């Protein structure tokens, strides 16, 4: 019996072909979005004071008129563009969602995430079949880089490192506040964000908790790039500590944040890191794990299921259930473990010492 007020979507046999075709052709949608962003369609329209014609867009993005017309039509069908008729001519403008998330000038732009997905993740996924067969990531096949040391492969060039940091920056600019406020973290005044990358999550944390300070603990070259591109001197409650969290000692703190870190690693490596965190943690302190949680029976959500495949293609790790993260935290010594599902992409798990 269904709870009162709920509706159930029923898929019939007649719907199956269309549904399978939608799945099969999903990459066409992704590549349309990637291409429109790479060519600067949304930025061009955002910079204009009025809707633009096909000819104006083609000229602005330096593309053929025929190709541009087809691209704009697809973007309109995806509700990424609006069309207007002016004196018998079709004109184009951004929809609200495109203005907010697909223009580089927006503070919550996802364009860098899209570029990284297009240039890096998409290439890895070309070898998904091999990843499933072999049970290992595909960096060597995709980029010719051996991946015994995961982040040496991820950061195989300065350009690639900056792209990855821009990806993380855009994610936490949008999702960061939800996860740092999932629990009341105000009792923790000294916080270390391990693998804090661009510092976007650290900045969200100090905004939410005016009494805290956050130190970004990351590799020296990541810290250098973060200082140059992401964290300004105005962020006086955000500082840096250079180090490798597997190899180097962790300074003592009230709280350690591991956001999208454990999903990169096997259970053994995750327990190794969490044990280091537990030993460094002050009595009464804790660790905040931020990840996309799977349902306990593995039935969803779909985003986390797909992310887990992405971890197979790119890393040594996987997405996990709340019970699995609880087991990892318990093995490292943490107690009173709480789970908070945010209703968004990323959830939070808090363990106490």
The CA–CA distances, whole Å, from 255 to 205, 231, 352 equal 12, 21, 9
The active-site residue out of 84, 115, 241, 263 is 263
The answer to whether the beta carbons of residues 160 and 94 sit under 8 Å apart is no
| Exposure class string for 152-166: b at 16+ Cβ within 10 A, else e | ebbbbeeebbbbbbb
Buried b (16+ CB within 10 A) or exposed e, 76-95: eeeebbbeeeeeeeebbbbb
Are the beta carbons of 201 and 180 closer than 8 angstroms? Answer: yes
> What values do phi and psi take at 87, rounded to 5?
50, 45
DSSP 8-class letter at 249: P
CA dihedral 245, 249, 253, 254 (to 10 degrees): 60
Residue written as token pair 């709280």: 255
* 263 classed as catalytic: yes
Active site amino acids: 263
């Amino acid at each position: 019996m269904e709870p009162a007020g709920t509706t159930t979507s029923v898929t019939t046999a007649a719907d199956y072909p269309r549904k399978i075709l939608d799945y099969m052709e999903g990459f066409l949608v992704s590549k349309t979005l990637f291409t429109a962003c790479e060519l600067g369609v949304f930025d061009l329209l955002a910079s204009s004071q009025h809707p633009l014609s096909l000819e104006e867009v083609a000229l602005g993005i330096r593309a053929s008129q025929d190709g541009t017309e087809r691209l704009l039509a697809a973007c309109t069908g995806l509700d990424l563009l609006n069309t207007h008729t002016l004196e018998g001519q079709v004109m184009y403008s951004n929809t609200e969602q495109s203005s907010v998330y697909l223009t580089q000038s927006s503070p919550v732009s996802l364009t860098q995430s899209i570029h990284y997905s297009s240039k890096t993740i998409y290439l890895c996924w070309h070898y998904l079949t091999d990843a499933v067969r072999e049970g290992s990531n595909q960096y060597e096949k995709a980029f010719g880089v051996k991946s015994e040391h995961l982040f040496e492969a991820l950061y195989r060039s300065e350009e690639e490192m900056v792209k990855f940091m821009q990806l993380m920056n855009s994610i936490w600019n949008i999702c960061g506040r939800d996860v740092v406020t999932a629990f009341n973290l105000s009792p923790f005044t000294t916080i270390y964000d391990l693998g804090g990358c661009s510092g976007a999550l650290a900045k969200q944390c100090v905004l939410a908790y005016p009494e805290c300070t956050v130190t970004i603990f990351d590799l020296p070259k990541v810290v250098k790039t973060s200082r140059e591109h992401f964290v300004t001197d105005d962020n006086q409650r955000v500082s840096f500590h250079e180090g490798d969290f597997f190899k180097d000692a962790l300074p003592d703190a009230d709280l350690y944040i591991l956001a999208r870190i454990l999903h990169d690693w096997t259970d053994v490596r995750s327990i190794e890191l969490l044990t280091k965190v537990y030993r460094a943690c002050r009595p009464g302190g804790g660790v905040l794990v931020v990840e996309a949680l799977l349902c306990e029976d593995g039935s969803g959500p779909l985003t986390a299921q797909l992310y887990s495949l992405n971890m197979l293609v790119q890393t040594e790790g996987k997405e996990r259930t709340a019970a699995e993260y609880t087991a990892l935290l318990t093995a490292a010594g943490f107690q009173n473990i709480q789970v908070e599902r945010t209703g968004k992409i990323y959830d939070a798990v808090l363990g106490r010492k």
